[in-house]
Structure 1
């Protein structure tokens, strides 16, 4: 069997790297250590939208912990700048940022994870390098990239959507199901196409509703 590829596409092994963070030096694959992990990036410290996002991430930390998910941020500044920015974030959101933030002033990790914003090449730093887009990677305990989202500088992340995606991924890993449009936890799910309807009626405890042979709903 061919070795699993490394990269940022879905199904690839997330690239490994070493970096300094606000909680010490890490090797990313060791940091994952069998846990669900979210890596989310920011173009720079003391940016307005990112300040609101990190405050919201800190506020929702118990929700991520409940799902067994650890968070790690990234911003393209030095550690000293991160520490001062965290003070602003904590004050703004009345929170206490506990997760580490990677210092990536050289943008090495941003490049490795294809996070550079190429849509506006007039938006460059002093070295002529594009700013880092705000990207979210959800990585499973096997270090596989399961979801990626990229947000432009003007649009703040929707953290409830990130939590919803985690719920969907984790539920799908435990059961032979997928989740429909606008699904919320507790709502009906779709029987996985690989499962025949007669088998689904044996596997799932509740009624299997067949709309089409390829579209079957059930309640978990």
Structure 2
């Protein structure tokens, strides 16, 4: 059983690449059976995976996502989680997650959780970590974060091992950056935070940049003398 599984992993494609379209999979979730593209509609989407239900790091992650859900919703982002347990387990676990946040336990989280008890979707999206195995000797699901745009194409992916919790403050920061840079001809610099100045793309001619960014364009000239460091206040 174990050797045949490793053959499957070795011969499967390497997962989603940036700008790949999300597979339009069908799945049972805590809210209904759904088709992924229909669930996303015209929204941005975040699909994030977890090793399994009733585990300590995972409950903290989903609790944090539940607290941040209103901020993601304001930015037209739909969240959906994946764990390799059943819908029944997800619903029972949801009570723990909500209680962990200090609220009255219910089965209703502000996002659905996918039932992937056979690891079909984890295998399809290459969310498995062969070096770590569960009690049955099967590779565990990693902590993967996929961000999709309204065009259903992958805009960003982050892969964490099962032992390292995701940083959803960073994921919210990334969403803001992705949405701004999709609409404006800018890039976000290192350690950028919402409200900070942004970089003007170096391909934009100086005169055009002045029209595009009425708040002003500021240039920092490095020793090389090459004028490629152009800043503007966040549009």
Listed one character per residue, the Cα deviations across residues 44-95 of structure 1 (whole Å, up to 9, x for unaligned) are 1001100000001001111111111110000001111111111111111125
User: What secondary structure does 2:145 align onto?
Assistant: strand
Larger Rg, first or second structure (1 or 2): 2
1:183 aligned onto 2:204: no
Q: 1:111 to 1:136 in 2, by over 3 A?
A: same
1:172 aligned onto 2:181: yes
Q: Tell me which of 12, 17, 20 is aligned to 1:12.
A: 20
CA RMSD of aligned residues (A): 1.3
Unmatched segments (≥5 aa) in structure 1: 1-6
CA separation in 1, counterparts of 2:201 and 2:34?
38
Listed one character per residue, the Cα deviations across residues 96-147 of structure 1 (whole Å, up to 9, x for unaligned) are 62210000011111111110013x25x2451x43110011011011001001
> Which residue is equivalent to 1:114?
126
> Which residue is equivalent to 1:4?
none
Listed one character per residue, the Cα deviations across residues 130-176 of structure 1 (whole Å, up to 9, x for unaligned) are 11001101101100100111111222111110010000000011110
User: What secondary structure does 1:40 align onto?
Assistant: strand
Give the TM-score of the pair, scaled to structure 1: 0.92
CA separation in 2, counterparts of 1:125 and 1:14?
31
CA separation in 2, counterparts of 1:149 and 1:81?
26
Assess if the C-alpha contact under 8 Å between 2:142 and 2:159 holds in 1: yes
Q: Tell me which of 115, 130, 144 is aligned to 2:139.
A: 130
CA separation in 1, counterparts of 2:67 and 2:129?
28
> Which residue is equivalent to 2:100?
92
> Which residue is equivalent to 2:9?
none
Cα deviation for residue 207 of structure 1 reads: 1.9
Give the TM-score of the pair, scaled to structure 2: 0.86
Q: What aligned pairs does 1:153-172 form with structure 2 within 5 A after superposition?
A: 153-172=162-181
User: What secondary structure does 2:128 align onto?
Assistant: coil
CA separation in 1, counterparts of 2:134 and 2:72?
34
Q: 1:125 to 1:111 in 2, by over 3 A?
A: farther
1:77 aligned onto 2:88: no
CA separation in 2, counterparts of 1:213 and 1:11?
30
